[in-house]
Amino acid sequence: MGSKLVENSKNVLRSSLALKKEETLLIVTDDSKKELAEALYAAGRSIGAETLMLVIQDREKSGEEPPSGVAEAMKHCDVAVCITEHSLTHTTAKKDAAAAGVRVATMPGITYDMFLEGAISADYDTVEKLTYNVSQKLDQAQKVTVSKGGEVLTFSIQGRNGVASTGVYRENGQSGNLPSGEAYIAPLEGTASGRIWIDGSISGLGKAEEPVLLTIEEGLLTAASGRQGERLLHMLGEGEGRCVAEFGVGTNEKARITGNVLEDEKVYGTIHIAFGSNNTFGGTIAAGVHIDCVVKAPTVHLDDTLLLEEGNMVKRGQ
């Protein structure tokens, strides 16, 4: 196990999660990510925290719940880190742990490369500031318009609250992804309509081989072009998995498009649209699946105000 890996793990536990000597750290991992989890385990031990590690079988898809015993254990620690192949971010287990006052960081699909370079090495004070700024703008807006390549997608966010995923979870009950840097919101169910080009990546499918054109009607994904589009439809199933669940804006300048959505959706100047569950952040859908689709360099209006112009953050009004 590389010393840099353990050192970076210690930095993450200290700077992002404020882990202290007398606290209890629970690491939830699976067979795929066990080796990386062991670096976090070693880091937790070296900080002096009471450190435990639970290994579960790989889930079949993102958003699938962990075993009930693991969900229960997550409620009875100070800090929980979920380092798994498939995401536990949008699960009831994570939501309940945070509600119990646990600081929770989820690291779905994280790689050695991401731990050593890229998004996790960002200046999180800068990320935090920009993320809160964008989140406040989402709070105040009623309608989102995304334009790219001659296609337009619109939806309502009226009455919904923006979420700032800053990568900093130092207070009781704070939770989110690591690495991070995104502001996101649950669009109003049934309001999304139009088309959008996905040219970044798709959760579970990697980088876009070619741009995938998604057609959305009355809040539901009705068509997706190409081979990856077909696979996306298959993963989402025929039911609520096809509902538009999330709109997010990346705010981490160190993040790169790698084909791993954990980092991809944080890339500064990208946006992502997700389908499936959103009941853990203000929506009403519990679909047992949550899949993000990343768009590079879009133009985004919040109501009539420009937020992104071909991927460049517009600084007016900050």
Amino acid letter, residue 250: G
Report the distance separating Cα 168 and Cα 174, nearest Å: 8
| CATH number of the structural domain 3-116 | 3.40.1830.10
DSSP3 helix / strand / coil % (the chain, rounded to 5): 30, 30, 40
Q: Rounded to an integer, what distance in angstroms lies between the CA atom of residue 233 and that of residue 237?
A: 6
Structure tokens given for 163: 């979420």
Q: Looking at residue 62, what is its pLDDT?
A: 82
Strands 79-83 and 103-106, sheet pairing: parallel
Residue 215 burial by CB count (10 A; 0-12/13-18/19+): exposed, middle or buried? middle
State how far the Cα of 271 lies from the Cα of 211, in Å rounded to an integer: 15
Each residue's pLDDT expressed in tens, for the chain with a length of 318 residues: 578 889 889 988 998 899 999 999 999 999 999 999 999 999 999 999 999 999 999 888 888 899 999 999 999 999 999 999 988 888 999 999 999 999 999 998 888 888 888 788 787 888 999 999 999 999 999 999 999 999 999 999 999 999 998 989 999 999 988 889 999 999 999 999 999 999 999 999 999 999 999 999 999 999 999 999 999 999 999 999 999 999 999 999 989 999 988 899 999 999 999 999 999 899 999 998 999 999 999 999 999 999 999 999 987 544
| C-alpha to C-alpha distances, 14 to 8, 49, 175, 282, nearest whole angstrom | 10, 11, 15, 29
In the chain, domain spans: 3-116, 121-313
- Which amino acid is it at 273? I
Q: How far apart are the first and last CA of the chain?
A: 44
CB 179 within 8 A of CB 255: yes
- Return d(Cα 60, Cα 55) in angstroms, integer: 15
What residue type is assigned to position 292 of the chain? D
- Between the alpha carbon of residue 29 and those of residues 16, 26, 41, 85, the distances in Å are 19, 10, 11, 8
Using one digit for the tens of pLDDT, what is the confidence trace for 158-215? Answer: 999 999 989 899 999 999 888 899 999 999 999 999 999 999 999 999 999 999 999 9
Secondary structure class of 226 (helix, strand, coil): helix
